[in-house]
Amino acid sequence: MICRCGGETRVVDSRHPKPHVVKRVRQCEACGERFPTFESREVPTTMKPRRKGASTEAWRKKVEADPEWYRQNRKRSSLRRKAREAAQALGRPVREIYQQWGVA
């Protein structure tokens, strides 16, 4: 970076006050003046923003369309949780408990 006097500058101090922002203190080698610079880095936008409540809304529609599916899903989830706990207590693989109980 070049100073107002036209001389080259060097970085004396660097800090990160915020994510993706760098505050640098530079000093001119010709006149000795110090001044701060703020540099920001662009955040990569490779991910799409999530819509809030999208999955909750889809779940609600499924439940309203087929209440029996919801009851069976709850029962299956409960059995799987209990099977994981039993497998941990017995020191056996979870898959074995699933097959024994017919949860699969």
Inside any domain, residue 96: yes
pTM for the model: 0.39
* CA dist., res. 73 & res. 58, Å (int): 15
Inside any domain, residue 77: yes
**In the chain, how many domains are there?**
2
| Tokens found for residue 2 | 């070049």
- pLDDT tens across 1-41, in order? 788 888 899 999 988 888 788 899 999 999 989 999 988 87
Inside any domain, residue 30: yes
Which residues, in sequence order, are CB contacts of 29 under 8 Å at separation 6+? Answer: 7, 8, 9, 10
Inside any domain, residue 45: no
Inside any domain, residue 69: yes
Inside any domain, residue 57: no
- pLDDT tens across 32-58, in order? 899 999 888 776 666 566 666 667 777
Inside any domain, residue 18: yes
Inside any domain, residue 16: yes
Residues β-bridged to residue 13: 25
Residues β-bridged to residue 39: 22
* Domain extent for 31: 9-40
